[in-house]
Amino acid sequence: MRRYERYASEIADLIDAGALNPGDRLPSVREASAMQGLSRTTVFAAYYLLEARGLIHVRPRSGYFVHDRSHRAAAVAPKTSHANAPSAEEEIDDLSMELIRTAGSRELVQLGSGFLSPTLYPLSRLARHLWNSMRDLDPFCVSHDSVPAKDLRRQIALRYRLAGTAVDAEEITLTAGAMEGLHLCLPGRHPAR
């Protein structure tokens, strides 16, 4: 178990035992780093893990707080359904149209889709980061590439290192989407840097 996972586990145990109650504020990253003798990166990674598990949440300019149990993300297995083979009366076109109509259903897991469930995206964190970035945006940066590829590759490599995998930033290939990534995987295709 990595240090940040161990620290996250200690905090989760305190929450489960009732030593930390819903609404309680956790120490800031700086305070926790000093108290626990951990690096700030380790504390941040632990808080990020707890936030992803729905145990804590961040309030901008206030810090990290224990989530109320009613707001925690419940790991509930989705309901499964069994497809029936089309009968002689059903046309394949009708079945295809029914599948298309159910594409937006919240009750079905679209296994044929290449997209994640919207519930898996950290939308509140994304909104907070976008707000912070847009608030101080230099208008002259809009017409230029605001995130150079080298910086983005370095940030992706850092995320891999936090997860315990050493990756050279120069070995990361950026694509405009999944289809371009699949195209580059075909034999004889080489990414252009």
Of 163, 140, 156, 186, which is closest to residue 2 (Cα–Cα)? 163
Q: What is the CA angle 84-85-87, rounded to 5?
A: 110
- Helix (H) or strand (E) run with residue 65 in it: strand 63-66
pLDDT for the residue numbered 183: 82
- For residue 169, the enclosing domain spans 142-193
108-147 pLDDT, tens digit per residue, is 776 766 667 777 888 888 888 888 888 877 777 665 555 5
Asked if residue 123 is part of any domain, the answer here is no
Asked if residue 117 is part of any domain, the answer here is no
pLDDT grade for 93, boundaries at 50, 70 and 90: low
Which among 27, 44, 71 is the end of a domain?
71
Of 12, 37, 29, which is closest to residue 64 (Cα–Cα)? 29
13: domain CATH number is: 1.10.10.10
Which among 71, 86, 116 is the end of a domain?
71
pLDDT for the residue numbered 92: 62
CA dist., res. 131 & res. 123, Å (int): 12
Residue the block writes with tokens 């780093």:
33
Mean pLDDT of 153-158: 90
The answer on pLDDT for 24 being more than 60 is yes
The answer to whether the pTM exceeds 0.95 is no
Among 19-23, 163-167, 183-187, the range scoring the smallest mean pLDDT is 183-187
- The letter for the amino acid at 99 is L
